[in-house]
Amino acid sequence: MPAYHRLGQIPPKRHTQFRKPDGTLYSEELFGTEGFSGNYANIYYNYPPTRVKKVEPYKRVAYEEWNEEVQRHHHLKTADLPRGGDAVLGRQVLMFNNDVALAVAQPTIAMDYYFRNAECDEVYFVHDGQGVLETNFGLLPYHEGDYIVIPRGTTFRFKIGNDSPDSRFLVIEAHGTIEPPHRYLNKNGQMLEHSPYCERDIRRPEELETHTERGDFEVRVKVGN
């Protein structure tokens, strides 16, 4: 059986009336990465997550392909790349193909918006720094050495700690699902003894931060490269 995790108050049964103290209904979202047949979560909101004030084009940056007549080895000195941008828009793509893109991010500014990758799972390896990843699943603190796995469709924002001005990430963006290889799992989904990590190493969002204030909240959605 997969590990079950919950934060906050939830109804006894799924897809039933779940009311606030004032008697009005919470809105339920069935969040899934593969429709109704894959991994999923039930998320409850004070207001419908489908409420949109306006939709505008999102300017995508096309990856620049580099072709050489002679294929040879290259030493990519990523520590020498210029710092800039935030943890998402500051990504500098090193290499890519139809399945995956590898980038580094060395942010110097905070994210004043939320981000959602609609097509790809993402992994942030924290090379340097610490902070909190704000998501619609709750708050996930992170620190140096962590691998942060962000399933496609997750709305998130990085809050980098004030004592981490030199944060550095390796970012993996994958069209396929990022999950443990099946050879490391038993038939019930439990990690086997020879797996390189186990359930004890996995940390989930630790705190649920509920916002009920009204206003404009920008969510930038990426579709395609």
Question: Residue 224 pLDDT > 90, yes or no?
Answer: no
Write out pLDDT tens, residues 146-168.
Answer: 999 999 999 999 999 887 778 99
Our CA dihedral for 65, 121, 31, 129, rounded to 10 degrees, sits at -120
Q: What is the 3-state secondary structure (H, E, C) of 28-56?
A: EEEEECECECCCEEEEEECCCCCCCCCCC
Question: Residue 37 pLDDT > 90, yes or no?
Answer: no
User: What average pLDDT score do residues 112-128 get?
Assistant: 96
Q: What is the mean pLDDT of the chain?
A: 91
Cβ proximity of 22 and 54 under 8 Å: no
Q: Specify the pLDDT at position 163.
A: 77
Q: Specify the pLDDT at position 1.
A: 62
Count Cβ atoms within 10 A of the Cβ of residue 66 and give its class: 0-12 exposed, 13-18 middle, 19 or more buried.
exposed
Q: Specify the pLDDT at position 185.
A: 94
pTM of the model: 0.91
User: Residue 19: which pLDDT band, with cuts at 50, 70 and 90?
Assistant: very high
CATH 3.40.50.300 is held by the domain 80-222: no
Question: Residue 145 pLDDT > 80, yes or no?
Answer: yes
- State what percent of residues in the chain have pLDDT above 90: 73
User: What average pLDDT score do residues 205-214 get?
Assistant: 90
User: Residue 208: which pLDDT band, with cuts at 50, 70 and 90?
Assistant: very high
User: What average pLDDT score do residues 181-208 get?
Assistant: 93
Q: Give the whole-angstrom CA distance, residue 73 versus residue 104.
A: 19
Question: Residue 109 pLDDT > 90, yes or no?
Answer: yes
Which of 126-135, 142-151, 162-171 has the weakest average pLDDT?
A: 162-171
Instruction: Give ranges for CATH 2.60.120.10 in the chain.
Output: 80-222
